[in-house]
Amino acid sequence: MIQLVITEYEGGVAEALFEDHDLRELTFPDSGLKTGDFVTGRVENTIPSLSCAFIEIEKGVKAYYSFKDNKRHHYLNGKEQDRLPVQGDLMLVQIEREPMKTKPYTVTSDLSLTGRSLVLVTDSDKVHISKKIRKSDAILALKKELEELSNESGFGFIVRTNAESIGTKETLKEAERLIKEFSESLKYASHNTAFKKIYSAPSHFVKRLQSLPESEIEKVITDIPSVYAELQSNFGGTGMNLQFFEDDSISLTNLYSLSSGIDHALRRVVRLKSGASIVIDPTEALTAIDVNTGKSTDKKKHETMEEAVLRTNLEASKEILKQLRLRNISGMILVDFINMKRDSSVKKLLTVMSDCAKNDPIQTDVLDMTRLGLVEITRKKEGRNIYESKRRGILQRDVSENS
């Protein structure tokens, strides 16, 4: 079961997700523009050779806009939507990706609105159903009614897994609400100049909860009044267990040991129960992880050295995949495990890692072991990792003990 804790931390907000009382995810949202916001921007310049433009979305803040990924454009000056942008054009765009390291914001014209059971999309007038939903008579009937709404409005829908538990009536109500909300946003944008936020997307914690099966959420707890009000606004009356924490004797941070959890997530060295350790070194190009034996290869009775090494590597592999999710490490990851001589040992290690990777809600692929004995992993980029949060000053905590 899942618990989500939202509390003030170092002048900002921390979101901690626990699964079966084990800390699995840490997020430190920025206070600026966020993914999903609609903003009006001005085209600062175009680069035809790269098939892109840079759009100023706030004074002095540029965003990358791809021509390849955006075939239609939402101009505010009445121009043809299929004409390529030129310098000075006013446009309505949506924040697709927040800035990462040296990369700026990425924005899109494929506008969408996300609800509990549906996503309204503007790049299609079709209705698509999540692959995780069983195609029951009720879902097929829902699809038919949504198709009628799509024909009338010109917008498409993606039916999310929560639609099964929410039901047809509430899902259709949400569809009508999303259509109205989007239409009002377009109307409001048409009367505005550059650098205006037209639509404010839900907070990160709302989007996180919308992406989870509601049957798996045990409780959501916060000590921030504005956060609790937003939770009530979005999920009040749904049956979700929403709690406002008030206790003068202990803080929410201390109750859930968040400080120590964050400290461990920032440490370079993670010690394992067996006595081994893993060393995590993020770089600009990739993340390197080294497995150190420590005292872990002391053989147990009736165990060969190869079996002892495999046991240590298996323990390390599970912790590595847990740390990738906790720290939100993405991109290319190379892991230097303790040397194993048998192909069967390597095969078992890769199989166990692949099975563990399936538990990560973000796509994580265990590729293979290279000729140099390094295991290659890739993890899709979603949001900033804990190191970027610290670098941007969102997370200010210092950890002096790195080993």
Q: Compare 397 and 381 and report the one with higher pLDDT.
A: 381
Question: pLDDT tens digits, residue range 122-160?
Answer: 988 899 998 888 888 889 999 999 999 999 999 999 999
How high is the pLDDT of residue 185? 93
- Single out the residue of 98, 88, 37 nearest to residue 63, CA to CA: 98
CB 323 within 8 A of CB 385: no
Structure tokens at 291: 């497995």
CB 216 within 8 A of CB 132: no
Residue ending a domain, among 199, 228, 248, is 199
SS3 353: helix
Residue ending a domain, among 62, 84, 108, is 108
Q: Are 295 and 374 members of one domain?
A: yes
Q: Are 226 and 287 members of one domain?
A: no
Q: Are 6 and 88 members of one domain?
A: no
Question: pLDDT tens digits, residue range 327-349?
Answer: 999 999 999 999 999 999 999 99
Region 221-228: mean pLDDT is 96
Share of the chain above pLDDT 90, in %: 70
Terminal Cα distance for the chain, rounded: 32
Q: Are 303 and 374 members of one domain?
A: yes
359: amino acid identity, one letter: N
Sheet containing strand 374-379, strands side by side: 269-271, 277-282, 287-292, 331-336, 374-379, 364-369
Q: Where does the pLDDT of residue 397 fall: very low under 50, low under 70, confident under 90, or very high at 90 and above?
A: low
Q: Are 135 and 188 members of one domain?
A: yes
If one counts every other C-beta atom within 10 angstroms of the C-beta of residue 32, the result is 13
How high is the pLDDT of residue 101? 75
How high is the pLDDT of residue 258? 94
Region 233-253: mean pLDDT is 93
Full domain range(s) for residue 136: 112-199
Whether residue 403 has pLDDT greater than 50? no
SS3 316: helix
How high is the pLDDT of residue 301? 64
DSSP H/E element including 153: helix 137-153
Question: pLDDT tens digits, residue range 360-385?
Answer: 999 999 999 998 889 999 999 888 89
CB 106 within 8 A of CB 383: no
Q: Are 278 and 232 members of one domain?
A: no
d(CA 95, CA 91): 13
How many domains would you assign to the chain? 4
Residue 129 lies in a domain: yes
Q: Are 61 and 21 members of one domain?
A: no
* pTM (predicted TM-score): 0.82
Residue 131 lies in a domain: yes
Considering all CA atoms of the chain, what is the largest pairwise distance in Å, rounded to the nearest integer? 79
DSSP H/E element including 147: helix 137-153
DSSP conformation letters of 229-251: HHHHHHHTTTT--EEE---TTS-
Region 252-256: mean pLDDT is 95
Q: Are 175 and 88 members of one domain?
A: no
d(CA 109, CA 319): 40
Quote the mean pLDDT of the chain: 91
Q: Compare 103 and 50 and report the one with higher pLDDT.
A: 50
Task: Identify each DSSP E strand in 145-303 by its residue range.
Answer: 156-159, 197-199, 217-222, 242-244, 269-271, 277-282, 287-292
Phi first, then psi, for residue 229 (nearest 5°) are: -65, -40
Residue ending a domain, among 70, 85, 108, is 108
d(CA 192, CA 154): 24
Q: Dihedral sign, CA of 10, 12, 17, 21?
A: positive
Q: Are 273 and 329 members of one domain?
A: yes
How high is the pLDDT of residue 357? 96
d(CA 245, CA 252): 7
328 CB burial (10 A radius; 0-12, 13-18, 19+): buried
CB 213 within 8 A of CB 361: no
Q: Are 151 and 207 members of one domain?
A: no
